[in-house]
Structures are given as C-alpha cells and as structure tokens.
Amino acid sequence: MLSKLQTQRTYALVGHGGCGKTSVAEMLLFNTETINRLGKIEEGTTTLDFEPEEVKRRGSVQPGFAAFSWNKNQHFLVDVPGDGSFNGDLAYMLQAVDGVVFVVDAVDGVKPLTKKLWREVEKLRLPTIFFINKMDRDRADFDMALNGIREQLGVKPYLQNLPIGSKEDFKGVVNILENKAYFFDENGGVTVGEPPEDMSEAIEALRETMVEEIAVCDEELMERYFEEGSLPVEDLQAATRQAVVCSELYPVCAGAALKGMGGSRLLTAIQTYFPSPLDSATGEKEIESVDGDFRAVSVDEPPVGIIFKTLFDPFAGQLSMMRVLTGTVSSDMTLFNPGKDEKERLGQLLLPLGKETVPLKESVGPGAIVAIAKLKNTSTGDTLCDEKAPFKVMLPSLNNPMITYALAPKEKGEEDKVYSAIQKLLEEDVTLRLTRDEETGDILLSGMGQSHIEIAVEKAKRRFKVDIVLKAPKIPYRETVKGKVEVQGRHKKQTGGRGQFGDCWIRVESLTRGSGYEFHDAIVGGAIPKQFIPAVDKGVQEASRKGPMAGYPLVDFKVTLYDGSFHTVDSSEMAFKVAGSLAYKAACEKLKQVLLEPIALITVSIPDEFMGDVIGDLSSRRGKVLGSDSTAGVTEVQAHVPMSEIQEYAKTLSSMTGGLGMFSLDFDHYEECPPIVAEKVVADSKPAE
C-alpha cells in the first residue's frame, strides 16, 4: 500500500463561478477514460453536476466528487462550487485535500471572488497549480490572466506550459523546461513535437528566467547553477516539486476544457508536483487534535477519518464523505465517534463518481476520499477513529450566514412539515441555520446568499413535497412610554350569584432604555390582600405583550401598586388580573407612546479600496459608523444600523465589492424610532379595511 500512497493524489478544483471548473473535472475524467464522452454544462450532462437544481441553473450548488485512476495512479478529486452562496464550507473541503487546482478564466482573468477564494487557499499554504481555462474563446488573453495571478493574487507563477496560439488558433502548449510542444486535438489526444520556430526566442528567454526562479528555491542547486551555468531537467523538476509542496512556486498550465484540450498536461503536472498524502513541506506529516496532540500520517497508525461533507442520494439516502487522515479503513469496520461518544459501523465503503458510487473491495489509507451510506450517529464535521486510540480532529471555523428569510407554508397548518423538511437539509449543508422566532412565530432560515436560500427551498419542495413561501423576517419592534401617571383599574361584574370585583391604583413611569419591566408592591394596611397582588402584576404583564401603538410588546416601564380595594366575597385572582390590565390600558392612553426599533452591530470586512463606498452606504441606511481598522489590505468597519435597513444587505455588499465583502450581524440594543419610520410601522400594523 505504501508505494500506492506515494503516487496517490487528492486535490480540489477551486475558482470563481463560471470559470469552468466542472468542465475541467469533466476533461480530466474523459482524459483518464473514466467516462467515454465529454458532458456539457449547458446540456446538463456533466458527471459532477447532476442535482436537478444544478442542471436548471447550469452551475454547481454542492461539491462534486470523483475517484479515478490515471497511469495506474489513484486520484481523488473534489469540485468546489464557485458561487459564494454555495461554498461557505470551503474550509472543510480544503481540509480534505493535499493540493488545489485553481482555475482562472482566460477571458475574465482574476475577478474579485477569485481573490476571496485564493485567500482561503493561501491561508492553509496548500500546494497549488493554476489552470488558465477557455484559451479557445474569442477574448482569451493568457498574458492578462497570468499577470492577474502574479499581481492581484501576489503569487510567483512557474510558467510550465506556454500556450501555442490563442482564441480559435489555440493548438497546444510548449513545456519550457523540456522544450517540447504538445499539440492538442478535440478528442483529448496529444501529439508531441518541436516548438514552433516563431516561439523559440520567447521560449529561450522564459527558460532562463524559470531556471533561475527554480534554483533560488534550493541553495545547493543555486550554487551548482552559478558554477555550471546549466542544470539537468530531472534536478530542476525535483527542485520544482519541493518548491510547489512548500508553496514557493505555483505551476501554470493552459487549456480549453470544453474541447478536452490540456487535460493530459494538467494531469502530468498534478502527478509530478502535488504531494502524496504522506508528504509534508516540513518533514513528517502530522495531524492535530482539538487537545493539541499530534499523530503521524501513516498506514501503521490507528485510523482517523473526518466526515467533511454529507450528501443526499435518492437511492442510498444519506451519504457521508470521509477523508482518511491516517491509518487504514475498510468496509464493515466499527469506529468511534469521540464527539458523540458513540460507536459507528461503517458498512460498505464506496468510491464516488458524481451520482454513481462503486463498492470498494479493499482497505484504503491516508488521502482516500470515500462515501459511506446511512451512518447513524455521525454528521458533518465529526471525527471517526479507533476507540482504543481516540483522536478528535480540530475543525476550521466557518463564516456566519449572510442573509435570513422567514419561511411559511403555502397551505396553512403545515408549519411543522416545513420545519421538518428544512431540518433534514441541515444534515447535508452545515452553512444553513434554522431557527424559530418565539416572539413572531416565524420559521427563520439563514444562509450564505439569496440563491442559497432559494435552492434550499427548491430542494425541500422536490424531495419532501412541501410548498414553501419566502418572506422577509418580521422586525421585532418594541413600544415604550414616556412620563409618569397614576391611574385606577376597576373591574366589577354582577351576573347573579357570586360576582367579580377587583380595584387597584397603579403608578406607571418610564425607565431607562434596556431596563425591561419592573413591578413594585407598595400596598399598606391591607388595601389589597397579599394573595391578589401577583394577579395585578400578571394582568399588567399579559396586557403589555401588545402595545397600544402597533401591537408590539411594551418595555422599559415600572409599575407601582400603591392602593386599591376588595370585596370579601366577590374578589378573586381573576378579578384583580382584569383590573391590572384595565389600569395598564388607562395609563397608556395618558402617557406619551414611543416606538423602538432594534439596532444591530454590523462588522463588515472588505478590501481597503471599498471602504469609502461601504461607509457611505451604511450611513445612507441611518447607520452610525463606530470605527474602522485596516490590516494587510483588509478593512474592518463596525457600525450600528437599524435592522429594518439591513435585511437584504448581503446582496448590496456583494454587488458593491464584487463578492469580496463579508459581514457579521448581531443584535445590540433598541433605540427610539424616527417619527416618519414609526408612522409607517404603525400604519402597516393596522388591519386592511
């Protein structure tokens, strides 16, 4: 197994939406004869985009997985969605791979979202190969894309393959180190030949520059280069691989995935430069536990695997995707889930290929990505390990949801069905959040973007036959009063037999913001018996749940019960409860009524160049900017903004920053509503006539 692991490669395809990642995956599967024809996204025939929602929108909404063999070497591939709404769990995907193929569009070059994705890859120092795709398109510009990688992403590209021609004349690439030309055909075939003569000067100049860049990464090699003036290709390739593993050099390949052009050269680069699951830039590879312990990555260690994604299969049900981190794992093995303190029997291990799975007959070691059906006690983010050698993997943090919608059933009375359907989706998508607002009764679904929420609702409708309506969540306004007043609440009712009698005098006065509700008993001389005093308090509290202005709860006021009277026969708790509510209503009529709006603390992180636009936009939303701080080209702005002004901020921020902006939102406090806003809220609360 050890020799197999040394040639095994596990990697992710990453890039902004529309750059052609899924087409690149399709090309690799076609070039390795895993599939016999190139599928097309436009036709909904690609191997890794198979969900009905993906076919409909012509784009990935969940990661795609493929295990395949190339030149007898095992490859495990993860195709990460490029749309920011669907890659909120990117950190989990990257934890499961040893390298990244970063796809850049030759037409659009480096886009804002490209930078955002690159920051996540760079943070983990994952070995990366850049693939400049769509070289056959009308506006393809290789130099523009390459300069974007160098200047906007700040990396040192290693130009392994120089394209021969571009646009409709794109024919292949020249490997500068080997000085060989690889001519592509549209059937995935490659013909090796001599580089075109008109490229000889450019190739020679680039080769000299490239050899120097490689030598700089290895002191011993650099000394030999200065002494001998040249270096063998084998030594340069070995040094390049080490530099790639250490994230010092980044090979660049080029191709046109839709035509199957460039897949074989990309596979060669992956095999040549990416690390095996056992390789590390710093020596022996280790994994870290939440307790700070380390364990070597080896087939001889006790097994440890992490469930990094859960998918839904219409036939097998729930499929858990597991990356084996160390040790070996086989079908029907029983492992331990330390997070749940439960044993878990694995059943049949499966190799994924899009929506298909192939039963695995042998055990697998580090780096393998396998699918496991119907785990009982294990969910995304859980570790599975040997019970005798427990080990819980440290998880990366995920970004908070960016947008929230209220969900309602199309048919009344199906609220529980809606909640249950969405709850099941949470098992496969850890970036969704489902809550119930106890005050408004709303079912709230939070996600990474509007399309994220919409797709979740579509899935729920298709799988669980429930029609869901999306609405903006209700704003939890509050009401309060200003001033001080003394009022009477008197309830007397005689209907034959025992009557009802309760009489109380209360003093109502406003409190400072955030104080809530206070009740004071100031009765002396037994004007009201002690057993009836809590009933007055209860009557006031129940009545204050609906304020007099717009029906929102009344807060920040104090009630003092100071006098009253009772009847020895007709008085009861119920009578004094009614008296308390009548006194409260009388006080509200005499006091000044005020509407309060919830204020959120928003923290926005954006590249420095967008700071002015973001601050201006927050101010236009009645926001009060508290301050800003800039570190390494990223500015963090904090502000207090009314919740009513920020409900669809995710779309605005994404548009304003090209998808680069991120924000977190937390309730902070209540403030008095401006009169013009209060008037509209009160008007909207009145029932239509």
Helix (H) or strand (E) holding 518, with range, is strand 517-521
* Phi, psi for 454 (deg, rounded to 5): -60, -40
Q: Give the per-residue pLDDT at 632.
A: 66
Pick the CATH number of 478-590 from 1.20.1050.10, 3.30.830.10, 3.40.50.11610, 3.30.230.10: 3.30.230.10
Q: If residue 677 lies in a helix (H) or strand (E), which one and from where to where?
A: helix 675-685
From the options 2.40.10.220, 3.30.70.520, 2.60.40.10, 3.30.70.870, give the CATH code of 403-471: 3.30.70.870
Cα separation, 537 vs 508, in Å, equals 12
- For 27-94, the three-class secondary structure string (H helix, E strand, C coil) is HHHHHCCCCCCCCCHHHCCCCCCCCHHHHHHCCCCCCEEEEEEECCEEEEEEECCCCCCCCCCHHHHH
Architecture (CATH level 2) of domain 2-273: 3-Layer(aba) Sandwich (3.40)
Spatial separation of the C-alpha atoms in residues 513 and 657, rounded to whole Å:
36
CATH topology match: 478-590 vs 595-685: no
Predicted local confidence at residue 305, as pLDDT: 95
Q: Measuring CA to CA, how many Å separate 446 from each of 359, 402, 431?
A: 36, 7, 8
Q: Is the dihedral of CA 681, 682, 687, 689 positive or negative?
A: negative
DSSP 137: S
Instruction: Tell which residue, 605, 638, 599, has the closest CA to residue 622.
Output: 599
Largest interatomic CA distance in the chain = 118
Kindly report the pTM of this predicted structure. 0.80
Mean pLDDT per block of 10 residues along the chain (689 residues) reads 82 92 94 89 85 81 92 95 85 94 92 84 93 93 92 85 90 89 86 90 84 78 77 82 88 93 93 90 82 90 94 82 95 94 93 91 93 91 94 87 83 82 87 83 84 88 87 88 95 80 95 93 92 95 92 94 92 94 95 93 88 93 91 84 87 84 83 93 75
- Tokens 């992490």 correspond to what residue? 306
Give CA–CA dist 168/62, Å, rounded.
Answer: 32
Q: Which contacts of 629-633 are long-range, i.e. CB under 8 A and separated by 24 or more positions? A: 633/607, 633/608
Structure tokens at 293: 């312990």
HSE at residue 624, side-chain half, CA atoms within 13 A, is: 8
* 3-state helix vs strand vs coil in the chain, percent to 5: 30, 30, 40
- Give the containing element (helix H, strand E) for 521: strand 517-521
The answer to whether the beta carbons of residues 279 and 290 sit under 8 Å apart is no
Residue 226 main-chain phi, psi, to 5 deg: -65, -35
Specify whether the CB–CB gap between 31 and 290 falls below 8 A: no
Domain range summary for the chain, segments of one domain joined by + = 2-273, 286-385, 403-471, 478-590, 595-685
Nearest-angstrom CA–CA distance, 117 and 111: 10
Helices 233-245 + 263-273 axis angle, to 10: 80
User: Does the domain formed by 286-385 have CATH 2.40.30.10?
Assistant: yes
In percent, the amount of the chain with pLDDT more than 90 equals 52
| Residue 533, number of CB atoms within 10 A of its CB | 19
Give the integer Cα–Cα distance in Å for 613 and 98. Answer: 38
Question: Residues 536-563, buried b or exposed e (16+ Cβ, 10 A)?
Answer: bbbbbbebbeebbbbebbbbbbbbbbbb
**Cβ atoms of 368 and 333 closer than 8 Å:** no
> 508 with 584: CB under 8 angstroms?
yes
| Gap between the Cα atoms of 604 and 614, Å rounded | 8
CATH classification number, 595-685, choose in 3.40.30.10, 3.30.70.240, 3.40.1010.20, 3.40.50.1980: 3.30.70.240
Cβ distance 456 to 415 under 8 Å? no
Of 164, 166, 243, 251, nearest to 203 by C-alpha is 164
- Beta strands 250-254 and 157-158: pairing type? parallel
Rounded to whole angstroms, the Cα distance separating 277 from 297 reads: 8
